[in-house]
Amino acid sequence: MEVAYRYVKQRRQFGRQPHFTDQGAELLLDLRPNEEHAKAWIVKQQATAAVQAAPDMSEHEVNTVAVVSVPKGMAHVEGGWAKDDVEGLLRFRKKVEKDEDYIRTVVRLGTMVEDLVKQNNAIDIYEEYFADVPAQHLSQAPSTSTLTILRDPSGVRRGAQAISWQPDGSGRLAVAYSVLEFQRQPAGMPSTSHVWDVANPGAPEAALAAPSPLVTLGFNLKDQNLVGGGQYNGQFTFFDLRKGPSPVEATPVEHSHRDAVRSFAWTQSKTGSELMSASTDGSVLWWDLRRLGGEPLESLTLRERGAGEAGAVLGGTVVEYSPQAGPTKFMVGTEQGAVLAGNRKAKNPADRITAAYAGHHSAIYALSRSPFFPKFFLSVGDWTTRVWNEDLRTPIITSPYNAAHLTGGTWSPSRPGVCYTIGHSGALEVWDYYLKQRQASLTGGRADVALVHRPLASLALAPGAAPRLAGIGCTGGTVTVLQLSEGLVEQQDNEKAVISAMLERESSREKNLEKSAKEAKAKARKEAARTAEPLDGATDEELAQLEREFMEMIKQ
């Protein structure tokens, strides 16, 4: 059966269309103003209210309370016997030795151990079969891991401006704490710097109580208990870790630098006590620790080569000295962006600055000679890292511009093609020229536990042939000790030859560019000289001829 329903409605049931007509006005309501209400009327005070459509946001920073760990030890003293009660101990031993159980046990255990002793002598079960096979680390991505964090115990925010590892590899490092910004030192800031032991990050091992904050410091290379430090007030001072925190001697104020000692280096000498220091006041001074109280051994004012007395003085920010390049040679990086190379024993004192390498846009923060190729050096300044050849005035390798300012860098002592840089990004960057030139092969090792990136101020690699540790100090005052992966430390196959070839190639490229630039210049000069000559090439004879013709014409 079909289910259907038909609804039918007729037209007339829809209703009719409306019909509109005009009509006269009709009063419905008459409301008169109320005078009483008008009196009560007052003007409301204006109020301003703002409404924003964007969601509200706020920033919070939370850090857990630092756990202060204190290592404690315990000395074991034998049994409960008094120290001099030897008899009691002997009696106890005798008693035990008579015990049958004891004898049985010892004999049983003796046979058991004897088997193992024999086994050990017969075969080396821990023998390494593949010890000679060279390791293949390249397949493994380079990495760093944070080993420990050393916090400035002073409680005031001071930057860790310099780090120096004790050269004997004991895992001790000295850290200089200071604030370099002009007049930004908080009132009552302690001026003490500290020596730390990596194994004991809870508390510093020793204090270096300098009268003025240390800006730079370094362990002496010969006597490893001596720490030299450059102070903010321009004096150089040194400490003996055996003698306590107070400085042993300091340079006299009248002969010291007039600005903070920004960098110093131990120079090669028989006693290992000589050093050179540089400051932003534009002077380089040579000192001997044994005669620190007197005048400096030598002094030099930093000026461009050949500028003479009238030339502008350049502020020194970093000193580079390495005996491999020559015991009298040195380099100074300046605030103005030029690297000055010098020779201390030049015949004429005016010739002590032998070369200037310009290119950086602002102050140089680090200089490092390649430990494998002393002719090549690395400079870090503005946003770039540059590699130079001593013989050329232009950099052979310039890194791409970094997003953040760079504040330090050094070559790896064990791998010819690796260098490390630090900067305001707060991360340690590793450049592996063996892999790629245009990009850092690793960016890692945040300096601070908080997510805030603190600018890094100092970098130092642990001493030794193949150091696995690097210390990076940030302006917040913490020093992070990083462990570098094996691939970053161990030399790769053929690496030295490859890097050497690369540096030579870049040098010759730069040399050719220089040559072609010189040629182009000479050509342009020649061109200019030729166009400057008078255009009409009339000779004297021709002029005489013309004159004669003119005279004849007049006579006619």
Partner 1 sequence: MTDVALVEETVKRLASHKGVVGIAIVNGDGVPIRTTLDPELAVTYAALVSQLALKARHMVRELAEDGSDDLQFLRVRSKKHEIMIAPAFDRDHNYTLLVVQQPDAE
Give the interface with partner 1 as residue ranges (CB under 8 A): 76, 78-79, 92-93, 96-114, 116-118, 120-121, 124, 126
Which residue number, 22 or 115, has a Cβ lying nearer to partner 1? 115
Which residue number, 6 or 108, has a Cβ lying nearer to partner 1? 108
Q: Say which residue the tokens 């009509």 belong to.
A: 23
Which residue number, 28 or 117, has a Cβ lying nearer to partner 1? 117
Shortest Å, Cβ 85 to partner 1:
13
Shortest Å, Cβ 350 to partner 1:
59
Contacts of 458 (CB under 8 A, 6+ apart): 160, 161, 162, 163, 175, 176, 408, 422, 471, 472, 473, 479
Ordered DSSP codes for 538-552: --HHHHHHHHHHHHH
Shortest Å, Cβ 131 to partner 1:
14
Give a three-class secondary structure readout of 51-84: CCCCCCCCCCCCCCCCCCCCCCCCCCCCCCCCCC
Which residue number, 120 or 246, has a Cβ lying nearer to partner 1? 120
Shortest Å, Cβ 124 to partner 1:
7
User: Cβ distance 422 to 436 under 8 Å?
Assistant: no
SS3 95: helix
Give the pair of three-digit tokens for residue 96: 């035990």
Give the pair of three-digit tokens for residue 317: 């920010």
User: Cβ distance 191 to 210 under 8 Å?
Assistant: yes
Shortest Å, Cβ 491 to partner 1:
25
Shortest Å, Cβ 77 to partner 1:
8
Shortest Å, Cβ 113 to partner 1:
5
User: Cβ distance 265 to 212 under 8 Å?
Assistant: no
Shortest Å, Cβ 170 to partner 1:
19
User: Cβ distance 494 to 196 under 8 Å?
Assistant: no
Which residue number, 91 or 361, has a Cβ lying nearer to partner 1? 91
Distance, in Å, from the CA atom of 260 to the CA atom of 231, rounded to the nearest integer, reads 6
Shortest Å, Cβ 315 to partner 1:
51
Q: Say which residue the tokens 């010892």 belong to.
A: 106
SS3 106: helix
Which residue number, 107 or 538, has a Cβ lying nearer to partner 1? 107
Which residue number, 61 or 100, has a Cβ lying nearer to partner 1? 100
Distance, in Å, from the CA atom of 539 to the CA atom of 551, rounded to the nearest integer, reads 19
Contacts of 191 (CB under 8 A, 6+ apart): 178, 209, 210, 211, 212, 213, 214
Shortest Å, Cβ 498 to partner 1:
35
Distance, in Å, from the CA atom of 80 to the CA atom of 83, rounded to the nearest integer, reads 9
Shortest Å, Cβ 487 to partner 1:
24
Which residue number, 102 or 401, has a Cβ lying nearer to partner 1? 102
Chain-centre distance of CA 256, in angstroms? 27
Shortest Å, Cβ 97 to partner 1:
5
Which residue number, 89 or 538, has a Cβ lying nearer to partner 1? 89
Which residue number, 19 or 98, has a Cβ lying nearer to partner 1? 98
Which residue number, 33 or 110, has a Cβ lying nearer to partner 1? 110
Q: Which residues pair with 431 in a beta bridge?
A: 419
Contacts of 412 (CB under 8 A, 6+ apart): 418, 419, 420, 461, 488, 489
Cα–Cα distances in Å, from 399 out to 319, 420, 488?
22, 12, 19
Ordered DSSP codes for 397-418: EEPPPPSS-EEEEEE-SS-TTE
Which residue number, 102 or 550, has a Cβ lying nearer to partner 1? 102
CA angle 263/268/272 to nearest 5° reads 90
Distance, in Å, from the CA atom of 35 to the CA atom of 215, rounded to the nearest integer, reads 84
